[in-house]
Amino acid sequence: MDFLRLFGREDVSSKDIAKERLRLILVHDRANVSPQFLEMIKSQIINIISDYVDIEEEGLEIKLTRMKKNEDATVPALVANIPIKRIKHVARA
């Protein structure tokens, strides 16, 4: 590590890690979203989507994060990752 640092090759500085972590933490803090709230959203999404597709419930992930709006601005975003096992027939009709 120190050897790499000697030649200035360490790629991510720890302050950039700090800044990125802080940004994510603050998205949550500012939105004031509790884990219970996210669980509620999750179970309702499962309910609605299961009418149309079979989903893998264990793999379902919902989180609050940030998304690039344009070059230099980011906005909070609710991202849902829903693994699909099979599309049901009703959806194709």
Residues in contact with another protein by CB under 8 A are: 6-8, 13-16, 18-19, 21-23, 25-26, 29-30
- The distance of closest approach from Cβ of residue 45 to another protein in the complex, given in angstroms and rounded to an integer, is 28
- The distance of closest approach from Cβ of residue 29 to another protein in the complex, given in angstroms and rounded to an integer, is 6
Q: Quickly list DSSP for 9-50.
A: ---S-HHHHHHHHHHHHHHHHHHT--HHHHHHHHHHHHHHHH
- The distance of closest approach from Cβ of residue 78 to another protein in the complex, given in angstroms and rounded to an integer, is 20
The three-point CA angle 25-30-33 to 5° equals 85
**Minimum CB distance to another protein smaller for 21 or for 88:** 21
Query: Contact 63/27 with Cβ under 8 angstroms?
Result: no
Q: Measure CA of the first residue to CA of the last residue in the chain; give whole Å.
A: 59
**Minimum CB distance to another protein smaller for 23 or for 85:** 23
**Minimum CB distance to another protein smaller for 29 or for 56:** 29
